[in-house]
Amino acid sequence: MTTPRVHIATDHAGMELSAHLVSHLTGKGYDVVDHGPKVYDALDDYPSFCINAATAVVADQQAGMHALGIVLGGSGNGEQIAANKVKGVRAALVWNMSTAKLAREHNDANVVAVGGRQHSVEEATGLIEAFLEEPFSNDERHVRRIGKIATYEATGEIVQ
């Protein structure tokens, strides 16, 4: 599998972690695109940053590029919610190695959300690396379930 392009966004609570990840992942050979913010503002609003990163992931994937995203905040919850509003995004909040790997293996999540105030920089880096490195299993049951979510997203139809 090729190394994905990684789109990253945060709010003020995740800026230190984001700066570390941009440097660390670039050093590991990832093509990292930083969607901001560029300067610290304790009153910033994360939705635009996260939506921009999520939109870029989907655009890259639609163009045939292997791309994943990272959204960071204090808890990661709001950032995950914002990213999930973008059609085609499956953003997963991860908090341990199991959830990081299963997000990719079972759910083919294309965006990972991490709470910068919930983990040390080292722990968060490990979770994100696990997410980025784990392939989707392509098991029929997971493909089927993701397909049902995509159908609902596109049409509003709930497939049984």
Q: Residue 81: in which H helix or E strand, if any?
A: helix 77-84
Residue 114, judged by CB atoms within 10 A of its CB (0-12, 13-18, 19+), counts as buried
Distance, in Å, from the CA atom of 54 to the CA atom of 62, rounded to the nearest integer, reads 12
Q: Which of 20, 106, 123, 129 is catalytic?
A: 106
Q: Is the omega angle on the peptide bond into residue 37 within 30 degrees of 0, that is, cis? A: yes
Active site residue 35: no
Active site residue 119: no
Q: Which of 12, 35, 79, 119 is catalytic?
A: 79
- Active-site positions? 79, 106
